[in-house]
């Protein structure tokens, strides 16, 4: 049995009309300092998007979320933010913003394997 480590996560939301504050969950951002783990998992349900915001293009939203993935991975394609320390990248992605793609407040937890935890949270809150 492995030791449990702390982690933080935030739910990623699409907020089609920011002024209405209506949203639906599309992903999870998870960070564990001790495991040096930062990852995002996302899926935009095209039927939900069409019902709530037919004017939004799912491909454009996927491009934005893919940029979040590049930042998590610390790739050069993640730009200046992708070059930050892993904890700073998480804080930047999880920061409060008033755009179409937002994240919830961060939530703490304990886990043995952050990758498994990410999948479980994703299944619970997104799928």
- 8: in domain: no
- 5: in domain: no
Please check whether residue 7 is in contact with residue 116, taking contact to mean a CB–CB distance below 8 angstroms.
no
Provide the domain count of the chain.
Answer: 1
SS3 at position 112 = coil
Instruction: Quickly state the pLDDT bin for 1 (edges 50, 70, 90).
Output: low
- 7: in domain: no
- 4: in domain: no
Query: Using one digit for the tens of pLDDT, what is the confidence trace for 90-125?
Result: 999 999 988 899 999 999 999 999 999 999 999 999
Segments forming the whole domain that contains residue 79: 15-125
Query: Using one digit for the tens of pLDDT, what is the confidence trace for 54-99?
Result: 999 999 999 999 999 999 999 899 999 999 999 999 999 999 988 8
Contacts of 61 (CB under 8 A, 6+ apart): 14, 26, 44, 49, 100, 101
- 70: in domain: yes
- 29: in domain: yes
- 10: in domain: no
9 forms beta bridges with: 30, 107
- C-alpha closest to that of 5 among 106, 109, 90, 89: 109
- 118: in domain: yes
């Amino acid at each position: 049995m492995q030791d449990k480590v702390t982690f933080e996560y935030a739910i990623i939301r699409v907020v089609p009309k920011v002024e209405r504050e209506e949203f639906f969950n599309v992903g999870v951002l998870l960070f564990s300092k001790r495991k040096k783990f930062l990852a995002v998992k996302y899926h935009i349900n095209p039927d939900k998007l069409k019902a709530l915001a037919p004017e939004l293009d799912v491909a454009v939203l996927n491009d934005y979320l893919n940029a979040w993935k590049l930042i998590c991975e610390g790739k050069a394609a993640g730009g200046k933010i992708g070059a930050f320390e892993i904890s700073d990248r998480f804080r930047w992605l999880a920061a409060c913003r008033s755009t179409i793609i937002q994240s919830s407040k961060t939530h703490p937890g304990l886990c043995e394997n952050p990758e498994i935890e990410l999948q479980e949270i994703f299944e619970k809150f997104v799928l």
